[in-house]
Amino acid sequence: MFEWITQPQAWIALGTLTALEIVLGIDNIIFIYLAMAFSVFVEMLNLRMRRGRWETPPVRLRQRIAPRRPSPLPPRMRMIDGD
């Protein structure tokens, strides 16, 4: 039942699996923390834009195709650029 204890191949396999679990487990933790840090960074940018502390106006990525229509939302709930 415990013959594998005396076999070096079994110890090598166990060590390899243990090392892979540690490396891949740490990799997942780092990925999660990087994703959280990126989301915090994006939220900080959003807050900065809402407060008007940005020195330059935001970049318009496209021109408006349709004419402007009045928004059904109250003024406080509209987007930054007035859409």
DSSP state of 6: G
Each residue's pLDDT tens digit, 46-60: 887 777 666 666 667
What's the CA dihedral at 44, 45, 47, 51 to 10 degrees?
Answer: 140
Average pLDDT, the chain: 78
Q: Which of 4, 23, 1 is closest to 13 using CA atoms?
A: 4
Each residue's pLDDT tens digit, 35-45: 999 999 988 88
Distance CA 39, CA 46 (A): 11
Task: Tell which wins on pLDDT, 71 or 80.
Answer: 71
CA 83 from centre of chain: 27
